[in-house]
Chains A and B, each alone.
Chain A
Amino acid sequence: MRLPQQPNERIDRARPIRFFFGGRPVEGFEGDTIGSALFASGRRVFSRSFKYHRRRGLLCCSGACPNCMMQVDGDPNVRVCVEPVREGAQVHAQNVLGSLERDLLAAVDHFGGPFTPVGFYYRTMIRPRGMWPVYEKFLRNIAGLGRLDKHAGRSRRFDTEHRRAEVLVIGGGRAGREAARSAAAEGRQVVLVDERGVPGANGDFEVLAPARAIGIYEGGLVPVDAGSVLYRFRAERIVVATGALEQPLVFPGNDLVGVYLPEAARRLVDEWSLKPGERAVIVSADDRGLAVADQLQRAGTSVVESIDLRSAPPRQLAARGRRGRLTSVVVDGREVQCDMLVASGGRQPAYSLLAQAGARIEYNAGRGIFVPSDLPANVEAVGSVAGELAPAAVPAASFNGADEAGRCFVCVCEDVTEKDMKRAIAEGFDSIELAKRYTTVTMGPCQGRLCHVPAIRLFAREQETDEATIGTTTARPPWAPVSLGLLAGRGHEPTKRTSIHHRHEEAGATMMWTGLWRRAHSYEHAGNEALNVHRALGVIDVSTLGKLLVQGPDAARFLELLYPNRFGDMKVGRIRYGVLGTDAGRIMDDGTIARLGDEQYYVTTTSTGADTVIEWFEWWNAIWRLDVETVNLTGSLAAVNVAGPRSRQLLGRLADVDTSNDGISYLDAKETLVAGVPCLILRIGFVGELGYELHFASPYGEYMWDTLLEYGADLGIRPFGLEPQRILRLEKMHILIGQDTDSESNVLEAGMPWIAKLDKDDFVGKWALEHVQERGFREQLVGFEMTDGVVPAEGGQIVLGGRSAGRVTSARLSPQLGRAIGMAWVRPELAQEDTEIEIRVNGGVASARVRLKPFFDPEGAQLRS
């Protein structure tokens, strides 16, 4: 039933809207919220409480408390008191077993009290430890908020938008509007954000509503929740006009259905033309609460008693009810029959955003409120949030009489009672921050809006001190609950693809991640692909390799200083393997360095190392100030490795160069046209066979790939992926950085002493390698060959006499060799050719023999062929 039209009503009675609650149709009007429409339909119980499953009804009608949270169109925890009605919406109760009226879990309220004191789950469900998953499941089922629809997926779209504003005003009340108008009049670009709407805005400034600022971060970053869009505002000046929050009183039965804050009563009558009750009692600390009597009388509600806490504060106050609904109020032992109680402890500045921004929060004992001060330079507070509030009484911490039964809630979100708080203090949680974590007071959906000050007040009373001494808890974003989808935004993940990527997908390759790169793991069978490289011809996309140009008069000196080996003595057109070390001598990256000119080097790095290496280069040159330029060419160039005994034959068909050893020998670099495309050919052999690495402009990736496959078809060419490449390189005992090395590895112990030219004047990490040489080796990287063919797990332990003596870094079955092979770090005494070692495999131990030379083609004849 609606009242006759009210002067300020928001509903449009000519525009009915139908939605469903629990599957049954409910009629509301345009301008209604789901909560007001349900109230109009006669509903008074809107939720069950978090822990005790007590009936809860509308309390604030402002989107602050948890009492009206429901599931709306699959979204849990929607505060229906502020959620506009929409046609066809499906609304359901949440956190109930049964219905709102008959919730079987309410047994916790009736019988569980003695067994469920504050923090009971810390004490009663800790043993046996293995049972915790069962306890957790049980607790989550009986206590909690709404449930996420696991099958919903990304059913709603959430976007993130970056905005800038010269002035951002948060809050569209009187003070906020005036601040916005004033700034706009000065010619500033103003955006005003408000949770509801801004009456009277005339276009002087931009209004964003309904939207809610959920925090203030460094640099003037203010995220604003606008439902489906998260605006990330960067504001030069932030004006906070978040107003003040009505505070509930703490007394037994203060959560009964029928107990309201004044604003709820006002909105029910004024905005939605609803009669909130028949007989009302008002208890208020300020005029604003007492003034609700006008609205109630206009609605036909009898105000049977009105108590001004400033002049006649009762010592005891209690609400009594039946089946969770208010039936009477007891004031100092005198019972007054009523079905509505408007109770207000005055208003508290909503300072959380200011506190997040760095403001100091001080307690004003005379007024009983916390007030922000010392605001950051670019932040301003206007209106009630700054403490501009009408005089009000400072209410008692609680009005609980010793003889009154019934729970006395400090926090309705988490069902924390006065008794819980006292118990926490008695147990030693005597700081408000500790008690907050133990009791979870202020940690519920209202985020302290309604319980922060009452909790501090109660704490001060119990500690026999004052609120200023207790202080506030830390204000952290988000200031209001925000959906995870909104924070996550769109589900895009930066991904690198080579210019040949789509050819691999079209060929049916299994793709895998290496860093941000997508690479082909294999196309059909990794072992067969590896065999094909040995026996015929393979081609692999190695565009992911880092590629750097180092150029300038000091290029040679620069590389000599960075790498442990020499590059100044290289002839133009030659290639050398290099291992980059840190200043602590640890292996950082590896690759090849080709000298393209006297002052020009082309450096390759590992696929995931390019960015780190170029930063390393630039960092050192910022110190050395050598005359050298470094350029990251990784994306500029595609690269493919054509490998196998028939690779020369294929290149001979395509390249404008003599591909014999006379024309391009092992470790030569040569620029030429290949199939019409300018290429840098590097004759190197990571996979152990005769091979040519072609580097060329990325846009020709697909063309080159297609051409190689077309002209190599009769030679048996097949693409091979990363996995067969790993088998092939292991056969040659070529290390993989990050796989066979870790942050402690150095070139000496990794079996590459020939890399470190300790007779050079200096290079990065030289002193550390000298130290390693002096102290002797602690472990060494070696190859091993399993004697029984089983492949150990990478990371598996090498054991000696039952104790750990090393670890496996790589292991594969080599189809070419017909044996299981691998690499491992072992104690130096084990690093001898043919030493027998034991490796833990599948809970047992398998034997293997140490190998110090490559398993395949140890003399490198194939590479040089």
Chain B
Amino acid sequence: MTELAFLSPDRARTEDLFAPRFASPLARVLAGTTAVRDLSQLGKIEVRADVDAIDVDAEVVRITSRRALVLCPYEQCAELRARLPGMVIDMTGALGGLELEGERAMRRLTDLDLEALPAAGKVAEVSALVLRDGERFRIFFPQEFAHYVGEVVLDVLEGIE
């Protein structure tokens, strides 16, 4: 089996003629705003294995007993891909991500129970994974919806101001 190198953005190489540029799907919509943090370049690795057996120095978000999303700094992706058990799929390019503050904004974005996070559900009508740290919320969603989600998030924040 191949390692599916073409899935992993961190495997791009700067060579004599070429200098690949990683572009966030949120780059345009979030340009100029400080209210929302772009997490798209965070490393995101899906693991399909016994989640309890995952032992790495990274944030492990349990989705089911046999499925988890491991979040890590971009630079750590290669190391984790090598160390993680089971089927490992690099989802860094697949998922857009952003961080925002405020429960009120989240209530306008999702009907998920904000007291029972992390959880997967709809955010701005798009399937997403939501994590909470106090008043800060991290949302991960398919990157193809990123620009749309960014627009909705900014619109919601504008409505609350």
Identify the closest chain A residue to B159 (Cβ).
Answer: A159
What 1/0 mask marks residues of chain A from 806 to 847 whose CB sits below 8 Å from any chain B CB? 000000000000000000000000000000000000000000
Closest Cβ of chain B to A649, distance in Å, is: 16
Q: Is the CB of A163 within 8 A of B107?
A: yes
Q: Give complex CA distance A687, B67 in Å.
A: 39
In the complex, what residues of A have CB within 8 A of residue B142's CB? 496, 634-635
In the complex, what residues of A have CB within 8 A of residue B145's CB? 494-497
Contact A157/B159 with A549-B89, A698-B25 known, Cβ cut-off 8 Å: yes
In the complex, what residues of A have CB within 8 A of residue B24's CB? 699
Choose the segment among A304-312, A525-533, A597-605, A855-863 that binds chain B (4+ C-beta atoms closer than 8 Å). A597-605
What 1/0 mask marks residues of chain B from 41 to 75 whose CB sits below 8 Å from any chain A CB? 10000101000000000000000000000000000
Q: Is the CB of B148 within 8 A of A494?
A: yes
Instruction: Let me know if B30 is at the binding interface, CB within 8 A.
Output: no
Q: Is the CB of B6 within 8 A of A600?
A: no
Instruction: Let me know if B12 is at the binding interface, CB within 8 A.
Output: yes
Instruction: Let me know if B14 is at the binding interface, CB within 8 A.
Output: yes
Instruction: Let me know if B81 is at the binding interface, CB within 8 A.
Output: no
Q: Give complex CA distance A499, B144 in Å.
A: 7
Q: Is the CB of A494 within 8 A of B126?
A: yes
Closest Cβ of chain B to A547, distance in Å, is: 10
CB contact list, A154-172 vs B, under 8 A = 157, 159-164
Q: Is the CB of A551 within 8 A of B12?
A: no
Instruction: Let me know if A697 is at the binding interface, CB within 8 A.
Output: yes
> Quick one: which of B6, B89, B108, B125 contacts A161, CB cutoff 8 A?
B108
Q: Give complex CA distance A493, B155 in Å.
A: 13
Instruction: Let me know if A676 is at the binding interface, CB within 8 A.
Output: yes
What 1/0 mask marks residues of chain B from 110 to 138 whose CB sits below 8 Å from any chain A CB? 11110100000000111000000000000
Q: Is the CB of B151 within 8 A of A492?
A: yes
Q: Give complex CA distance A631, B146 in Å.
A: 20
Q: Is the CB of A596 within 8 A of B1?
A: yes
Q: Give complex CA distance A673, B46 in Å.
A: 24
Closest Cβ of chain B to A504, distance in Å, is: 13
Q: Is the CB of B8 within 8 A of A697?
A: yes
In the complex, what residues of B have CB within 8 A of residue A673's CB? 13
Contact A703/B21 with A161-B104, A492-B124 known, Cβ cut-off 8 Å: yes
Instruction: Let me know if B82 is at the binding interface, CB within 8 A.
Output: no
Subset of 14 A-B contacts with CB under 8 Å: A159-B156, A162-B112, A493-B148, A598-B1, A633-B7, A635-B94, A636-B143, A637-B93, A671-B6, A673-B13, A676-B18, A698-B94, A700-B12, A707-B18
Q: Give complex CA distance A163, B90 in Å.
A: 35
Closest Cβ of chain A to B144, distance in Å, is: 4
14 additional A-B pairs beyond A161-B104, A703-B22, beta carbons within 8 Å, are: A161-B107, A234-B111, A492-B148, A494-B124, A596-B4, A597-B1, A635-B142, A675-B17, A676-B20, A697-B92, A697-B93, A699-B23, A699-B40, A700-B12
Q: Closest 6 A-B residue pairs measured CB to CB?
A: A676-B18, A636-B94, A597-B1, A697-B93, A162-B111, A496-B144
In the complex, what residues of A have CB within 8 A of residue B90's CB? 636
What 1/0 mask marks residues of chain A from 622 to 648 whose CB sits below 8 Å from any chain B CB? 000000010101111100000000000
Contact A680/B6 with A495-B145, A496-B145 known, Cβ cut-off 8 Å: yes
In the complex, what residues of A have CB within 8 A of residue B33's CB? none
Identify the closest chain B residue to A501 (Cβ).
Answer: B147
Closest Cβ of chain A to B14, distance in Å, is: 6
Q: Is the CB of B25 within 8 A of A499?
A: yes
Q: Give complex CA distance A599, B15 in Å.
A: 33
Instruction: Let me know if A677 is at the binding interface, CB within 8 A.
Output: yes
In the complex, what residues of B have CB within 8 A of residue A677's CB? 12, 18, 20
Identify the closest chain A residue to B160 (Cβ).
Answer: A159
Instruction: Let me know if A94 is at the binding interface, CB within 8 A.
Output: no
In the complex, what residues of A have CB within 8 A of residue B94's CB? 633, 635-636, 698
> Quick one: which of A162, A498, A502, A697 contacts B144, CB cutoff 8 A?
A498
Instruction: Let me know if A678 is at the binding interface, CB within 8 A.
Output: yes
Contact A631/B1 with A162-B110, A494-B126 known, Cβ cut-off 8 Å: no
Q: Is the CB of B108 within 8 A of A160?
A: yes
Q: Give complex CA distance A596, B143 in Å.
A: 25
Identify the closest chain A residue to B141 (Cβ).
Answer: A635
Q: Give complex CA distance A467, B30 in Å.
A: 62
CB contact list, A673-723 vs B, under 8 A = 673, 675-680, 695-703, 707
CB contact list, A571-599 vs B, under 8 A = 596-599
In the complex, what residues of B have CB within 8 A of residue A232's CB? 111
In the complex, what residues of A have CB within 8 A of residue B143's CB? 499, 635-636, 698
Contact A596/B13 with A494-B125, A637-B93, A700-B22 known, Cβ cut-off 8 Å: no
CB contact list, A132-163 vs B, under 8 A = 157, 159-163
What 1/0 mask marks residues of chain B from 19 to 35 whose CB sits below 8 Å from any chain A CB? 11111110010000000
In the complex, what residues of A have CB within 8 A of residue B111's CB? 162, 232, 234
In the complex, what residues of A have CB within 8 A of residue B41's CB? 699
Identify the closest chain B residue to A681 (Cβ).
Answer: B6
Contact A699/B22 with A234-B111, A495-B147, A551-B87 known, Cβ cut-off 8 Å: yes
Instruction: Let me know if B85 is at the binding interface, CB within 8 A.
Output: no
Q: Give complex CA distance A678, B20 in Å.
A: 10
Q: Give complex CA distance A629, B126 in Å.
A: 24
Instruction: Let me know if B36 is at the binding interface, CB within 8 A.
Output: no
Q: Is the CB of B1 within 8 A of A600?
A: yes
Interface centre among A234, A631, A697, A700 (most CB of B within 10 A): A697
Instruction: Let me know if A490 is at the binding interface, CB within 8 A.
Output: yes
What 1/0 mask marks residues of chain A from 662 to 675 whose CB sits below 8 Å from any chain B CB? 00000000010101
Contact A703/B20 with A678-B12, A695-B6 known, Cβ cut-off 8 Å: yes
Q: Is the CB of B148 within 8 A of A495?
A: yes
Instruction: Let me know if B84 is at the binding interface, CB within 8 A.
Output: no
Contact A636/B107 with A678-B11, A697-B7, A702-B21 known, Cβ cut-off 8 Å: no
Closest Cβ of chain B to A475, distance in Å, is: 25
In the complex, what residues of A have CB within 8 A of residue B124's CB? 492, 494
Closest Cβ of chain A to B128, distance in Å, is: 11
> Quick one: which of A492, A600, A629, A675 contacts B2, CB cutoff 8 A?
A600
In the complex, what residues of A have CB within 8 A of residue B7's CB? 633, 636-637, 697
In the complex, what residues of B have CB within 8 A of residue A700's CB? 9, 12, 20-23
In the complex, what residues of A have CB within 8 A of residue B19's CB? 676
In the complex, what residues of B have CB within 8 A of residue A161's CB? 104, 107-108
Instruction: Let me know if B91 is at the binding interface, CB within 8 A.
Output: yes
Closest Cβ of chain B to A809, distance in Å, is: 29
In the complex, what residues of A have CB within 8 A of residue B108's CB? 159-162
Q: Is the CB of A636 within 8 A of B93?
A: yes
Q: Give complex CA distance A499, B93 in Å.
A: 10
What 1/0 mask marks residues of chain A from 251 to 275 whose CB sits below 8 Å from any chain B CB? 0000000000000000000000000
CB contact list, A476-510 vs B, under 8 A = 490, 492-499, 501-502
In the complex, what residues of A have CB within 8 A of residue B21's CB? 700, 702-703
Q: Is the CB of A701 within 8 A of B23?
A: yes
Closest Cβ of chain B to A670, distance in Å, is: 10
Instruction: Let me know if B39 is at the binding interface, CB within 8 A.
Output: no
In the complex, what residues of B have CB within 8 A of residue A234's CB? 111
In the complex, what residues of B have CB within 8 A of residue A597's CB? 1-2
Closest Cβ of chain B to A647, distance in Å, is: 18
Contact A596/B12 with A497-B148, A635-B142 known, Cβ cut-off 8 Å: no
Q: Give complex CA distance A163, B22 in Å.
A: 38
Closest Cβ of chain B to A499, distance in Å, is: 6
Closest Cβ of chain A to B25, distance in Å, is: 6
Closest Cβ of chain B to A223, distance in Å, is: 12
In the complex, what residues of B have CB within 8 A of residue A490's CB? 152, 155-156, 159
Contact A492/B144 with A234-B111, A636-B93, A676-B12 known, Cβ cut-off 8 Å: no
Closest Cβ of chain B to A229, distance in Å, is: 9
In the complex, what residues of B have CB within 8 A of residue A549's CB? 4, 89
Q: Give complex CA distance A597, B147 in Å.
A: 35
Q: Is the CB of B113 within 8 A of A164?
A: yes
Closest Cβ of chain B to A510, distance in Å, is: 19
In the complex, what residues of B have CB within 8 A of residue A157's CB? 159
Q: Give complex CA distance A637, B145 in Å.
A: 14
